[in-house]
Structure 1
Amino acid sequence: MIMFGDEFMYRVLVVDDSAFMRQFIKSFLESTGKFVVTVAQTPLIALDKVRKFKFDVITIDYEMPYMNGVELIRKIKEIKDAKILMISAYTRPGAYTTFEALSAGAFDYILKPTSEDELEEFKYELIKKLTTVCEECKSEEGSKPHGAITSLEDRLTIEKSIIERAKLAKVVGIGISTGGPPVLERMFKSLKKDFPIPILVVQHMPPNFTKPFADRLASITSKCIKEASDTEEIKGGCIYIAKGGYHLAVEEIDGKLYTRVLDLEKIKSHKPSADILFSSIAEACGKASMGIIMTGMGSDGSDGILEMRKKGALTIAQDEKSCVVFGMPKAAIEKGAVELVLNPDQIVELLNSI
């Protein structure tokens, strides 16, 4: 990050073997006045530049000569702890590569445009993601959440009552976005084998990505993890991932809980939306539920988890320090929708105490 007058400008390294994409990204990023862009046409050139210069964020194409994007991410991480955005293919193989990239240390991904019609959306999303993560890194002041229990002393005081309330939950809902896949991997790997409560997850992802993501989680954790299908009875101990391009909701029928996969309009630009999931849990389960809102940009989930808290559900937000982007938890905290602010390890510790 460098200063020009009173303005911050962020330094970006664009790694792509396509001359068109390098120039395209460089031109529109620099036209915003927020970024100074350096380009590298091969991973070897990129590694040389990373050794010599400091960058606020690096974008990496998924397929390049000499080494692929995942290998390059690992090598960059050996040199320095850089913020890396993966540019991914909108295909099933591209999805698997993306999850490997996120596991290797990329903070997020963006889909590579496949036609001229998609270029404007690509520009908008790339500027939003780069700006958000750069501003998060720039901000050094942690915000003390209002109305949330954060100190060890407070947590110990209420620990027994919190655990008892958690044991009453019929379902756990999780809303998560930017930085989410690696966090969910670690959490579900650490979750005890006999965890009794079903978990429903809204992770912001496109349609081709959620099934491979669920399959990957199931393979890594050896747990019952699946992409949610419509009107499926929700079973204890299973984890259901919202289908990309659809909303996931919970419905109670004759004392049993069922998944609903809904083709409705986007909520806060998201489909699936954590607001839809949390609101449906509040309606179906009331206080016999738990809502967890985690890393991600924007405010999706803040309205729905507030409904859960008003019904008496146990509500938790991921703490700022462990978030890639604090937007979603921060929005929920500021609305008074959250009781506990914990890091992912503490969340798992609470779940494992049930």
Structure 2
Amino acid sequence: MYKVLVVDDSAFMRQLIKSILEQTGMFSVMVAQTPLIALDRVRKFKFDVITIDYEMPYMNGVELIKKIREVSDSKILMISAYTHPGAHTTFEALSAGAFDYILKPLKEEEIEEFKSELIKKVSAACEEYKKTQTAPTAVEDVKVFKVPIEDSLIERAKVAKVVGIGISTGGPPVLEKMFKSLKKDFSLPILVVQHMPPNFTKAFAERLASITSKCIKEAEDREEVKPGCIYIAKGGYHLAIEEKAGKLYTRVLDLEKIKSHKPSADILFSSIAEACGKDAIGIVMTGMGSDGSDGILEMKMKGAITTAQNEKSCVVFGMPKVAIEKGAIELIMSPEEIVELLNKI
């Protein structure tokens, strides 16, 4: 049975989270109503996962994460407010070492969705924590068919018109580091599907732009794709591109969810395959589930360069693993190696 600590100054939220998790029969749950009590619990007991609210007395959630990180390697889930300011604090929490975040329910009708997300994310965090406690088995050592960054690969990359990235759990800190490491004159446009809700993607784009000093924005419908600009898919909408008269344009689409996701990396990759054929680069990165695997397979079948993040550097190896198993991936690389390839273009 997995051990979970719930840290929240709201008695309602403590009881709600505790009840949801205990009803599964998978989790043993302890609670703490203040950060100080939480730190005492963490020093005395070993937890697989700790859920943390942001607004609490004595110290906020980000400060608590940093304190916990000094004494424990438990996976941490942030319980986030569904607001623009809440988005900014969530990104701070992820940068401080949180595994993922869950949106706090605002209305009674949102509790069922909160329950489903909570169980899914706490379960995933527990599984990932368990892996860190055992000897690592590098899947890429078995499956990998690494292709060196050879001249022929660079020449193929140089004719690319666009880079597409599909990413989920663990994504924000990885994208921050990658985009900071891109050379100043990097000229390809990059389109990113990062699984996030509405209100979060605009804040995420603003944060990335401020940290990297690059052209990074939340994508709008029917805007011309500009060289060197990075477009973040809008939460609650799909992002695609289309080609008209030799130019590429974004499409922001209000369609049904794909594999429970909106935005969906499959939609983005499929549109890139249609618009650019072999002249594109597709990248599937850290995240739960299988989003992106079908779309990036379409890209590979058209001759595009397709890349997956390696297991060792992933927070969750779900999305890359499924794409690899489908035969959709040509290169398996760390984020640093991906940036190295892009900077050679």
Partners of 2:330 and 2:129 lie apart in 1 by 26
Alignment of 1:1-354 (within 5 A): 9-139=1-131, 140-144=136-140, 148-150=144-146, 155-156=147-148, 159-354=150-345
Q: TM-score, normalised by structure 1?
A: 0.94
Q: Distance in 2 between matches of 1:137 and 1:97?
A: 24
How much has 1:291 moved relative to structure 2? 0.2
2: CA distance, partners of 1:61 / 1:149? 42
The 8 Å contact of residues 165 and 284 in structure 2, kept in 1 or not, is answered as yes
Q: Please give the secondary structure, in 2, of the residue aligned with 1:99.
A: helix
Amino acid at match of 2:179: F
Shift of 1:220: 0.3
Shift of residue 30 of structure 1? 1.1
Contact 1:145 / 1:334 at 8 angstroms: preserved in 2?
no
State the 1:136 CA deviation.
Answer: 2.8
Separation of aligned partners in 2, 1:316 and 1:262: 25
Distance 2:39 2:143 in 1: 46
**Displacement, 1:145?**
7.2
CA displacement 1:38-60 (0-9 Å, x = unmatched):
11100011111111211111100
Question: Any idea what the Cα deviations from partners look like across 1:183-233, whole Å, max 9, x if unmatched?
Answer: 000100111110010000000001100001000000000000000001100
- Deviations along 1:74-103, one digit per CA (max 9) or x if unpaired, are 111122222110000001111111111111
Q: Retained in 1: the 8 A contact 2:140–2:311? A: no
Alpha-carbon offset, residue 144 of structure 1: 3.7
Q: Deviations over 1:217-261 (max 9, x none)?
A: 000000000000011000110000000110000100000000000
| Distance in structure 1 (CA, Å) of the matches to 2:143 and 2:25 | 38
**Alignment partners' CA distance in 2, 1:249 and 1:107:** 28
RMSD: 1.2
For the residue of structure 2 that corresponds to 1:163, the secondary structure is helix
AA at the equivalent of 2:84: R
Partner of 2:320, secondary structure, is helix
The answer to whether the 8 Å contact 1:210/1:227 transfers is yes
Q: 2:153 and 2:143 mapped to 1: Cα distance?
A: 16
AA at the equivalent of 1:195? F
1:25 Cα deviation from its structure 2 partner: 1.0
Tell me, in whole angstroms, the C-alpha distance in 1 between the residues paired with 2:72 and 2:140: 29
The Cα shift of 1:146 comes to 7.2
SS at match of 2:88: helix
Cα distance in 2 for partners of 1:334, 1:61 equals 37
Change in CA separation of 1:257 and 1:146 when aligned onto 2, cut-off 3 Å: farther
**Mapped contact 1:95–1:208 kept (Cα < 8 A):** yes
> What is the distance in 1 between the residues matched to 2:156 and 2:70?
43
Which structure 2 segments of 5+ residues have no match?
none
Q: Per-residue CA shift, 1:246-290, capped at 9, x if unaligned?
A: 000010000000000011111001000000000000000000000
Matched residues in 2 for 1:301 and 1:175: separation? 6
Residue 162 (structure 1) shift:
1.4
| Distance in 2 separating the partners of 1:184 and 1:134 | 24
* Secondary structure of residue in 2 paired with 1:296: coil
> What stretches of structure 1 of length at least 5 have no aligned partner?
1-8
Q: Which amino acid aligns with 1:61?
A: D
Q: Whole-Å Cα distance in 1 between the matches of residues 336 and 218 of structure 2?
A: 24
In structure 2, distance between residues paired with 1:62 and 1:113: 14
Residue 147 of structure 1, CA deviation: 6.4
Distance 2:341 2:50 in 1: 36
Question: Helix, strand or coil for the counterpart of 1:207?
Answer: coil
Between the aligned residues of both structures, percent identity stands at: 79
What is the one-letter code of the residue matched to 1:92? H
Q: Distance in 1 between matches of 2:186 and 2:225?
A: 14
Q: Aligned AA for 1:65?
A: P
Aligned residue pairs, count: 341
